[in-house]
Amino acid sequence: MPKSVVRRALEGFHPYVPGEQPPDGEGWVKLNTNESPLPPSPKVIEAIKAAATDQLRLYPSPTAAPARQAIARRFGLDPTQVTVGNGGDELIELCFRAFAGAGDTVAFPTPTYPLFEPLCRIHEAAPSRHPTEDFADLPASLGPDPSPLKFIVNPNSPTGALFDAHHVEAAVVASSGVVAIDEAYVDFAPRSALELLESQDKVLLLRTFSKSYGLAGMRIGFALGSRDLIAALDSVKDSYNVDRLSIVAAVAAIEDEPHHEQVVGEVVRNRGELARALEQMGFEVVPSAANFIFVQPPRPAGEVVAALRERKILVRHYDREPIAGWIRITIGTREQHSKLLEALKEIL
Ligand SMILES: Cc1ncc(COP(=O)(O)O)c(C=O)c1O
């Protein structure tokens, strides 16, 4: 697009760049975008097939009502405390639409999910960055920051570190605005901030079906929070932001908790095995509560990542400070890990 027609606020804009998504069926070992290595519940596939009917000519429920109700039941909440979005990413964007706009600041610890920075530019808000110490501790400066909107990704990405629950609560209590706790990876962690919803009405929890439910391809996320915050998100969303197939997929997925637990259990077990194997090979490994691990290889990361790519293994490489030289590896199956470790032995 000619530069002259783009909003002046977007001059020099760096968009968010998603991880490489090669065409299906080419045999890649894909450990770069934190998808599930295991398929969704068979009940989800059945539900999608059953919903692929003539009824697709009709719009979906504008409130994705069946999904809201099923999610509310699962968490013991009222449906008015739940909203559903086109992936967790849409819910993050709705937070900007509802709570922070031009001239506002939006606060978050760094390093973290790189989507917040471009969204600040798009909404003409200024990022208020709070660097973490050793990736592990939530910065004490975050709570007193007066921003009307804050994000805490917990477990954090790309580090996998889980911030201390008391520190998160203290940051929420000290905040005057909305605190969105992005729990995209929380199912792989020992605890969530769900209890905070009982006492803190300025907290939103953002979740997704993309990771532990194996549904990245469907694009479904949900937010839990007080009625007022959920109503604020609903008031700025697009009318039909979640399609019919996604709604039935969400219901079937949230209702098949045994399948979900099985996936999470396997990923957590594989995470421990991979972390130990990489440590033995001389990698520095950040303790992870997510479905990926953040590691620094004993040789320059760029070379290692390129050599893995030549062997059709994709991982995520970071080349900007403070995480230059680090690699994020999605937890895969044992078979995928064997291929990765074999390749790394050759490369190193
Ligand atoms: C921290 C974080 N939040 C939210 C998301 C959103 O995921 P989705 O839009 O697939 O639900 C991701 C995806 O990678 C993520 O890493």
Q: What is the number of the ligand 1 atom nearest to the C-alpha of 88?
A: 11
Amino acid 1: pLDDT: 52
* 170 and 286 together in one domain: no
For the domain that residue 12 is a member of, what is the CATH number? Answer: 3.90.1150.10
Q: pLDDT of 145-178, one tens digit each?
A: 999 999 999 999 999 999 999 999 999 999 999 9
Amino acid 4: pLDDT: 80
* 252 and 273 together in one domain: no
The answer to whether residue 267 is domain-embedded is yes
Q: What is the number of the ligand 1 atom nearest to the C-alpha of 86?
A: 9
Query: With 0-12 CB in 10 A as exposed, 13-18 as middle and 19+ as buried, what is 260?
Result: buried
* 98 and 190 together in one domain: yes
For the domain that residue 124 is a member of, what is the CATH number? Answer: 3.40.640.10
Tell how far the Cα of 115 is from the centroid of ligand 1, in angstroms: 9
The answer to whether residue 37 is domain-embedded is no
Nearest-angstrom CA–CA distance, 11 and 3: 8
Amino acid 319: pLDDT: 87
The answer to whether residue 36 is domain-embedded is no
Tell how far the Cα of 307 is from the centroid of ligand 1, in angstroms: 27
Beta strands 126-131 and 149-153: pairing type?
unpaired
CA dihedral 95, 323, 131, 123 (to 10 degrees): -30
Choose among 224, 166, 156, 218: nearest CA to 188: 156
Q: Where in the sequence is the domain holding 223, given as residue range(s)?
A: 43-256
Tell how far the Cα of 157 is from the centroid of ligand 1, in angstroms: 9
Rounded to 5°, the CA angle 291-295-298 comes to: 150
Q: Cβ(104) to ligand 1 under 6 A?
A: no
* 186 and 281 together in one domain: no
Low-confidence ranges of the chain (pLDDT < 50): none
Q: Cβ(157) to ligand 1 under 6 A?
A: yes
Residues paired with residue 149 on neighbouring β-strands, in sequence order: 106, 178
* 65 and 189 together in one domain: yes
Total domain count, the chain: 2
Atom 7 in ligand 1: which residue has the minimum CA distance?
88
* 141 and 289 together in one domain: no
Amino acid 99: pLDDT: 98
Q: Cβ(212) to ligand 1 under 6 A?
A: no
* 171 and 208 together in one domain: yes
* 72 and 216 together in one domain: yes
Tell how far the Cα of 343 is from the centroid of ligand 1, in angstroms: 28
Atom 3 in ligand 1: which residue has the minimum CA distance?
184
Tell how far the Cα of 66 is from the centroid of ligand 1, in angstroms: 23
Task: Name the residue of 90, 182, 185, 208 whose CB sits within 8 Å of the most ligand 1 atoms, as the mutation to test its pocket.
Answer: 208
The answer to whether residue 264 is domain-embedded is yes
* 17 and 62 together in one domain: no
Tell how far the Cα of 225 is from the centroid of ligand 1, in angstroms: 18
> Which of residues 241, 256, 271 is at a domain's end?
256
Question: Is the pTM value of this prediction over 0.85?
Answer: yes
Q: pLDDT of 274-321, one tens digit each?
A: 999 999 999 999 999 999 999 999 999 999 999 999 999 999 999 888
Tell how far the Cα of 208 is from the centroid of ligand 1, in angstroms: 7
The answer to whether residue 130 is domain-embedded is yes
The answer to whether residue 57 is domain-embedded is yes
Q: What is the number of the ligand 1 atom nearest to the C-alpha of 113?
A: 1
* 234 and 305 together in one domain: no
Q: What is the number of the ligand 1 atom nearest to the C-alpha of 89?
A: 9
* 114 and 201 together in one domain: yes
> Which of residues 256, 271, 291 is at a domain's end?
256
Indicate the SS3 state at residue 230: helix
The answer to whether residue 307 is domain-embedded is yes
> Which of residues 210, 230, 256 is at a domain's end?
256
The answer to whether residue 38 is domain-embedded is no
Q: Cβ(246) to ligand 1 under 6 A?
A: no
Tell how far the Cα of 22 is from the centroid of ligand 1, in angstroms: 19
* 282 and 171 together in one domain: no
